[in-house]
Amino acid sequence: MSDVRTGSVQEVSGEFEHRATGRDWLGLVVLAFAILLIAVDGTVLDLALPFISADLAPTSNQLLWIIDVYSFVLAGLLITMGTLGDRIGRRRLLLIGAAGFGIASLVAAVSSSAEMLIAARVLQGISGATLMPATLGLIRTIFLNPCQRVAAIGVWGAMAGGGAAAGPLVGGWLLEHFWWGSVFLINIPVMLALILLGPLVIPESRDPNPGRFDLTSSALSMLAIVPLVFAVKETAAHGVDPVYVMSAVVGLIAGYVFVRRQRILDAPMIDLRLFASRAFSTGVATNFLSVFALAGVLFFGAQYLQVVLGNSPLEAGLLLLPGTAASIVTSLLVAVLVRYFSAGTVLGVAMIVGAAGAGVLVGLAADSGPALFIAGFVLVGAGVGVSLTLTSELVVSAVEPERAGAASAVSETAYELGIALGVAILGTVVMAFFRRGIDVSLLTPELGADASETLGGAREVARGLPDSAATALMDSANAAFVSGMHVAAVATAVVLAVTSVFVLINLRQRQDSSTAKE
């Protein structure tokens, strides 16, 4: 008998009656490891930046691209791959993506130049785009019982949030014992296990009546997302430029045409009527903004712990562990919290907690210990952990199981854009204040340019200077970097506080409306 699960919720014994089997829960374990690695790869390079800088000598722009291009490419392809999975089978797409991701990771590990590493990250992004919507889409079709689905998405959210936060810890341990390329090799055995075990414990699922796949819409979705994100990133890093303005215009025009096209297609890639649902639209927006905050804090926090405070990569990763644990615990607690409080209340309070954590980071100093950073990061991690689980549940529950891949792709596009823009915008804010504040007046123009590129670059220059000059340079560099962190932390706190108000208003109105109908 085929294990393809199709049809509406009501056609599969009813959501409240259908309960997952032991095989289903084993399938969740396999999916959890896949999402864990994808999330880890989004941030695992944070602690490796100084090593990559020393070995491959990338420019400041190349360094940001090494981090960002993975998320940019992944985000650009998620909608396409989510829709494709609904058509050809989500498990099949998952296995194809696993093979591609493993090969791309091997290429990244042996990269001998910044350009080669960027190309490998592009390949990882393409493969990751096949994995992301498949994992959440399969959870939606496997776990039809609402209570079990919230718990399963809690595990998924714990892996996504915990993986993003655990990336520096994993990277720290590997960098302590091996070379920087080892942060990619860890992907290979997990992807092999996914390929071998996936067909045994994960049921296939697809839309039985998907309609025609629209290549034009696929191209438009990529043409909308990638140029627009590129424009935002480069403008934040280098200021307004005609090339970046033109890129943004291309993205906006492509996005407009994409939306218009979805309105007239019989089988659109994205059913735009979903955004009329307050739960769906609020879930997508909150997912984006909370991950935006987490990625930015991880980007500058990892460098603060390692370069400013002088911790080793492993020590810095361990100092991030409490925040990782907070994210995992709160993700798993969501299923309990929503039994006693409304989704809007739980999500709104989570954003307030995250905002408070970002506010704590404003008190950091170049010569302070790690305790204050740990406290702030724990609060940020706790808030984001709740958000990742609850927003994903809001999004996938708004559609029938057969359209789970497309809906998941929308949510995960927001997730990946949040990571990319969090690093790009908050990271470039920090670096702008760093370059403005660092004192290189005693250095030659060439050394001054190298020291002003990155905080790691300043440290490399300092190593070749006499002790007094090296101390003066690093004192200036650290103070400048921390001043940039303060500005980024304030911006993060404001974003999360505003998001909290947005959530409480939108989901409260939804709850009031439901109560009135009853």
Do residues 149 and 16 share a domain? yes
What tens digit of pLDDT does each residue of 145-163 get? 777 888 888 888 788 766 7
Residue 5 forms part of a structural domain: no
> In the block, which residue shows the tokens 């030659």?
444
Cα–Cα–Cα angle for 342, 343, 344, rounded to 5 degrees:
90
Q: What is the mean pLDDT of residues 171-197?
A: 84
Going by pLDDT thresholds of 50, 70 and 90, the confidence category of residue 286 is very high
| Residue 466 exposed, middle or buried by CB count within 10 Å (0-12, 13-18, 19+) | exposed
Q: Any idea what the CATH number is for the domain that residue 325 is in? A: 1.20.1250.20
Give how many domains the chain has, as a whole number.
2
Instruction: Report pLDDT for 383.
Output: 92
Residue 81 forms part of a structural domain: yes
Residue 173 forms part of a structural domain: yes
Going by pLDDT thresholds of 50, 70 and 90, the confidence category of residue 6 is very low
Do residues 193 and 304 share a domain? yes
Domain that holds residue 480: 11-205+269-517
* Residue at which a domain ends, from 251, 268, 285: 268
What tens digit of pLDDT does each residue of 53-98 get? 778 877 777 777 787 788 778 778 888 888 888 788 888 888 998 8
What tens digit of pLDDT does each residue of 444-471 get? 888 888 888 778 788 888 888 888 888 8
Do residues 253 and 150 share a domain? no
Residue 56 forms part of a structural domain: yes
What tens digit of pLDDT does each residue of 297-344 get? 888 888 888 888 888 877 887 888 888 888 888 888 888 888 888 888
Do residues 219 and 298 share a domain? no
* Cβ proximity of 378 and 326 under 8 Å: yes
Dihedral angle over CA of 463, 466, 467, 468, nearest 10: -130
Instruction: Report pLDDT for 404.
Output: 67
Whole-angstrom distance, CA of residue 92 vs CA of residue 112: 33
pLDDT tops 90 at residue 356: yes
- At 249, the amino acid letter reads V
Residue 251 forms part of a structural domain: yes
Residue 2 forms part of a structural domain: no
Do residues 432 and 442 share a domain? yes
Do residues 154 and 257 share a domain? no
SS3 5: strand
Whole-angstrom distance, CA of residue 18 vs CA of residue 73: 37
pTM: 0.77
How many DSSP H helices and E strands does the chain contain?
A: 20, 0
Do residues 473 and 462 share a domain? yes
Do residues 184 and 256 share a domain? no
Do residues 396 and 504 share a domain? yes
Residue 1 forms part of a structural domain: no
pLDDT tops 90 at residue 350: yes
